[in-house]
Amino acid sequence: MATRDTERGAGERSCVGAALVALVFVVGCSSPGEGAAARPLPELARPADQNPDPQVLEVQLEARMAEVEYLSGKRTEVWSYDGTVPGPLLEARVGDELVVHFRNNLPEATTIHWHGLRVPAAMDGTEAMQSPIAPGGTFEYRFRLEDAGLFWFHPHVRSDIQVERGLYGVILVRGDDALPVLGRERILVLDDVQVDAEGRLADPEDIGSMEAMTGRQGNVLLANGVKGAELEVTPGERLRLRVVNTATARYFRLGLPGRRMHLLGVDGGLLERPREVDEVLLAPGERADLAIDADGEAGEVWELLNQPYDRGHMTGGGSPGPVLQLRFAERPRLEAEPLPGMLRTIAPLPAPSATRRLVLTEDMDMGGGMGSGPTFRINGEAFPNVTPLETSLDAVESWEVVNETEMDHPFHLHGFFFQVAEQAGAPAPFLAWKDTVNVPAESSLRFLVRFEQHPGRWMYHCHILEHGERGMMGELLVQP
């Protein structure tokens, strides 16, 4: 059935057609703008580089209110970096210096956190190291880019609210991973928002206890800031999608029904070798580097679908379907070369000198009345009332994250990549550098991490931002 669907033209797709697919993929028909014409996948804006030195990317960046067009022809008021959602793409090479002259023109204080980048703690944009930048205030972020990969940036003040309003952007750092054989590259920034038929964004401050519990899932899926994005492909070409999930709570479970994809890399860059996958689950904050062999015929349309995923508390229900349509153009067929067997080598971290256990719990107290609602804790403590963990520079540690709740939580550590060693009691199937990892409900995992190079105060937290901001966040002090 899924195969038949991919062979139909997109123009024939109706809610009836979608309902057939819904038996397998639960594609919703009720979200605003359904049936509107597809829109080309937007290219991300690029800020002007003000520094003539080719090894320095120096830009102005402003957080401000703006209007965007999530739904075709409807205006949505958002908070933005430089007037667009996603904000501008910062692209540079490993070893380059990034200088961001940031101005906050929002009505409230903010910071920028550079998700996944290994930066000095003082540049990491958390309240552990930086006081929030007041409305009208400025700050200069300046650091070297150390790793190739796709990263992103977002506020670390009231992040559940500010990210939902539209504050996020991506950073692409190039290194030896820029091989043409890996495919024609596009960045795919995935989000979901709750909007009405006129395109108005639901007020993220206005959130009930149940929604706070699960984290807010919107009714519209966005790819690079638009609903219903499509991308033209040449028959036979290889497409490389650099994907990031910037939603506050939604997991994206991406697949091309009936077809396989190649997973080339994750948060901290390439894997050692490509892996063939049927689907990819991206928790909030995570990235995937995907290659798709687009071997369809001219006129075909393939849909990159988001399939329902149950992460607990009945979150697995129907959801909007496609995040991106691939439309095969009438062009001479291309022949993709085989992917390299080896992409790079990743040295396994040595044996740890210390082990820690972090237990995630949730407290449903939905009592009603002012200020009530769920609280989330790590080792019994809810941020900001936490005792910082302490370690020292260059220590290698093993962290066991034990999720005692009935819901998945994506665990994110700032400042340092880690290697997952064990998941649900089984050894991890492959080596990879991660900064965010899903810890399924009532399950645990263990990772190894080395605290290299950057002493200071660091954060770790659940990247369902409604959870992080309701206590599931802690502090790590790395002593010089």
* Residues at the contact surface with Cu ion, assessed by CB under 5 A: 409, 462, 464, 467
Closest CA to 149 of 115, 123, 180: 115
Q: Which is nearer to Cu ion, 195 or 462 (CB)?
A: 462
Closest CA to 213 of 384, 438, 439, 464: 464
| Least spacing, CB of residue 151 vs ligand C2O, in Å | 9
Q: Give the CA distances from residue 333 to residues 40, 241, 261, 304, in Å, rounded to whole numbers and listed in that order.
A: 21, 20, 19, 21
| Least spacing, CB of residue 157 vs ligand C2O, in Å | 11
Closest CA to 144 of 171, 118, 168, 164: 118
Distance of CA 29 to the CA centre of its chain: 25
Q: Which is nearer to ligand C2O, 76 or 245 (CB)?
A: 245
- Binding to ligand C2O by CB under 6 A, coded x per residue (else -) over 226-265, reads ----------------------------------------
Exactly one of 113, 118, 250, 434 binds ligand C2O (CB under 6 A); that residue is 113
Residues 10-69 close enough to bind ligand C2O by CB under 6 A: none
> Candidates 15-23, 46-54, 216-224, 456-464 — which segment interacts with ligand C2O by CB under 6 A?
456-464
Exactly one of 74, 165, 311, 412 binds ligand C2O (CB under 6 A); that residue is 412
Q: Which does 462 bind (CB under 5 to 8 A by kind): Cu ion, ligand C2O, none?
A: Cu ion
Q: Which is nearer to ligand C2O, 82 or 127 (CB)?
A: 127
Under the criterion CB under 6 A, does residue 115 sit at the interface with ligand C2O?
yes
Parallel/antiparallel/unpaired status of strands 389-392 and 418-423: unpaired
Q: Which does 156 bind (CB under 5 to 8 A by kind): Cu ion, ligand C2O, none?
A: ligand C2O
Q: Which is nearer to ligand C2O, 128 or 229 (CB)?
A: 128
**Interacting residue ranges for ligand C2O, rule: CB under 6 A:** 113, 115, 154, 156, 285, 412, 414, 459, 461, 463
